[in-house]
Amino acid sequence: MELNELFNSFQGEYPYTGRYSTFIRFNICNLECPFCDTMRESKLKMSTTNYDLNQISDLISKTNFITFTGGEPLLFVDEISEICNDVFFKNIYLEKITIETNGINMESALPQIIKNLYKSTPSVNNLLTIIWSPKFYNDEITIKEFNVLFDNYTIYDKIFIKIIADTDNKQIIESFIKKAIELYGINIRSKINLMFKTDEDLNFIQDSINFAIELGEKYSISISDRLHLRVNVK
C-alpha cells in the first residue's frame, strides 16, 4: 500500500493531545493549502513509500489507536477500510480510529467508511472520530463543508473541529464560530478548538496566540498549542 508516512508518535493536536498513536499519512490531497508543511513530489502528491498490511498492523498493535491523516484521508476510503478490517481480523484491540480531514469528501466518503467497517465490527460508531480542519482561506469550500456537517447528524455526532487561529482570516473564523453556536447551541463549543499558528521555523506566532485567546474568552471555546512542536517529536 502506498503511503506518505507510517510511524508511531504522540498526538500533538486536539482532541486527543498526548495520546500515543499510529499515524498513517496518505500521499495525495485534493487541496493545495498555503500553510501545508507536508513534503510533496508534485502539486497534490506527497512522497511515497510502500508498506504491507503486516507492517501497518504491527505498529497499530503497539498503540491501539489510529490517526489517518494526509494528504486527504477521505480520498482513500478503500484503503482505510482495508487497514481497519485487517486489524479487526487479527483481533488487535482498538481504542479509537481518528480521521483528520479537510472535509470536502465527508458527505460521500464518511458514510461509506462506516458501512464498510460495520461489516467487521458493529461497534465502529463508538470507535470513529472525525477531526475536521476547515479551510478558511476559501470561503466557498468552508460554507459547503459547514452545511454538510450540520445537516447530517451521523457526521455531527462524531466530529471535532480544530481551527488554526489565523489572523488573516479573522472575520470568517469568528463568523463560523458564531453561526455554529447560533444553530446548535452552547454545547457545540466543546467540539471546537483554536490552535496557534506557526511561522516557517515552526515558532508560534504571538498575534495568533492573542487571537485564539480573544475568541476563546469571548465564546468560551478551548485553545491549545501543538504539543508535538513544543516538545519536538514527530
Take residue 116 and report the three cell numbers written for it: 464498510
Coil, strand or helix at 41: coil
Amino acid identity of residue 35, one-letter, is F
82-125 confidence digits (pLDDT tens)? 999 999 999 999 999 999 998 888 878 888 898 898 888 888 87
Per-residue confidence (pLDDT) for residue 143, from 0 to 100: 59
Per-residue confidence (pLDDT) for residue 156, from 0 to 100: 64
Q: What global pTM score does this model have?
A: 0.90
Average model confidence (pLDDT) for the chain?
86
CA neighbours closer than 13 Å in the CB half-sphere of residue 105:
17
Nearest to 38 by CA among 84, 3, 89: 3
Per-residue confidence (pLDDT) for residue 72, from 0 to 100: 93
Coil, strand or helix at 224: strand
Of 40-54, 71-85, 89-103, 179-193, the poorest mean pLDDT is in 40-54
Q: Could you count the other beta carbons within 10 Å of the beta carbon of residue 86?
A: 16
Distances (CA, A) of 99 to 41, 50, 94, 125, 162: 23, 20, 14, 13, 12
Per-residue confidence (pLDDT) for residue 163, from 0 to 100: 92
Average pLDDT over residues 226-231: 84
Say how far apart CA 209 and CA 29 lie, in whole Å: 28
The gap from C-alpha 58 to its chain's centroid, in whole angstroms, comes to: 23
pLDDT band at 40 (very low <50, low <70, confident <90, very high): low
Per-residue confidence (pLDDT) for residue 85, from 0 to 100: 94
Per-residue confidence (pLDDT) for residue 185, from 0 to 100: 84
The gap from C-alpha 81 to its chain's centroid, in whole angstroms, comes to: 17
141-174 confidence digits (pLDDT tens)? 565 666 666 665 556 677 899 999 999 889 989 9
Q: Report the DSSP beta bridge partners of residue 99.
A: 68, 130
